[in-house]
Amino acid sequence: MNNVLVIGGDGFLGRWIVELLLRRNSDPDQPNYAISIFDLQQRYFEETLTYYIGDLTQYEDISSAIVKSRAKFLIHTASPPHGLSSKIYWDVNVGGTKNILKACLENDVEKLVYTSSAGVLYDGINDLINVDETASFPEVFHDSYHETKAEAEKIVLEANGQNNLLTCAIRPSAIFGPRDQQLVAGMIKVMERGQTKFQIGDNFNLFDFTYVENVAYAHLLAMDKLSSDPDIKVGGEAFIITNGTPIPF
Ligand code: NAD
């Protein structure tokens, strides 16, 4: 049995990752998992899932969840939503991720997949067109949310190979799909408030939206492919996830 802990597994993307793991468990041709979730909250109640309620910024919370779940694989999707204070992002995204790494190294975790963001490449001003993973982080980030996502990604990737831990990062852009509370819900609020009278720019900007199940699947593929085999170059790497052709936004 593979013990996997999904950190932030009660959230939008995290729950989809959990559902894909559950789907694998009901397929005799797929690997089986003992699935645990670490989150601030619990909205789903199933006998086959073990929840650990805690706060990533508290080292004891996350380390005891890793010990109790006997997790060998970690998928870390937790982050505060957009629009909060800079301090919360530094505390959770950077401090919380450092806590996870410390606990991984102390408890012989084998694989860590971190959910980053495609926005770690954006400076808030210059368009990004056809960029790939060779692009560097900007000197100045769009906001503290993205700055801290980038800092956490850096820390996670630098830990690849330490104490046999393998790490990689997935960089989705805006995620859409069933149970999304941010993207479409935010657009609906804008419509309800009647904030539709102004257009900034020529309305030909392109933006990359990605379907949530595809993003979740990317995390499972990354977990599968993390390997110490030097011919499989996943460890220490970040991967931009996209549905394909960007659409006007
Ligand atoms: P979400 O808010 O639905 O889920 C995040 C989960 O993390 C929540 O369940 C929340 O309770 C948990 N969490 C937050 N702070 C925590 C803490 N201190 N301790 C423990 N748990 C905590 O967000 P989402 O949209 O599912 O995003 C998941 C990940 O994907 C995040 O890392 C986000 O940065 C990244 N991402 C999201 C999008 C998007 O469009 N939604 C785009 C790019 C990257």
Q: What is the pLDDT of residues 41-81, one digit of tens each?
A: 999 999 999 999 999 999 999 999 999 999 999 999 999 99
CB 76 within 8 Å of CB 112 = yes
Using the atom order of ligand 1, give the atom closest to the CA of residue 14.
Answer: 26
Predicted confidence (pLDDT) per residue in 205-242, tens digit? 888 899 999 999 999 999 999 998 989 999 999 999 98
Q: How many Cβ atoms sit within 10 Å of the Cβ of residue 195?
A: 9
Ligand 1 pocket test: pick from 5, 7, 10, 12 the residue with the most ligand atoms within 8 Å of its Cβ. 12
pLDDT of residue 1: 79
Comparing 93 with 190, the larger pLDDT belongs to: 93
99 lines ligand 1 (CB under 6 A): no
Distance from C-alpha of 241 to C-alpha of 238, rounded to nearest angstrom? 10
The verdict on whether 145 is a catalytic residue reads yes
pLDDT of residue 63: 98
Q: Which residues contact 39 (CB under 8 A, 6 or more apart)?
A: 7, 8, 9, 10, 11, 14, 51, 52, 53, 54, 78
Predicted confidence (pLDDT) per residue in 173-211, tens digit? 999 999 999 888 888 998 899 888 777 788 888 888 999
| Strands 2-7 and 174-176, sheet pairing | unpaired
10 lines ligand 1 (CB under 6 A): yes
Query: Rounded to the nearest whole angstrom, what is the distance from the C-alpha of residue 229 to the centroid of ligand 1?
Result: 31
Q: Using CA positions, which residue lies closest to atom 44 of ligand 1?
A: 117
Q: What residues form DSSP beta bridges with 76?
A: 7, 114
DSSP state of 121: G
CB 168 within 8 Å of CB 160 = yes
Query: Rounded to the nearest whole angstrom, what is the distance from the C-alpha of residue 198 to the centroid of ligand 1?
Result: 30
With 0-12 CB in 10 A as exposed, 13-18 as middle and 19+ as buried, what is 10? Answer: buried
pLDDT of residue 248: 60
pLDDT of residue 208: 87
Using the atom order of ligand 1, give the atom closest to the CA of residue 9.
Answer: 9
In the numeric block, which tokens belong to residue 73? 């694989």
pLDDT of residue 249: 54
Write down all domains in the chain, each with its CATH number in brackets.
2-248 (3.40.50.720)
pLDDT of residue 197: 78
Query: Rounded to the nearest whole angstrom, what is the distance from the C-alpha of residue 231 to the centroid of ligand 1?
Result: 32
Confidence band of 246 (pLDDT split at 50, 70, 90) = low
Distance from C-alpha of 164 to C-alpha of 87, rounded to nearest angstrom? 32
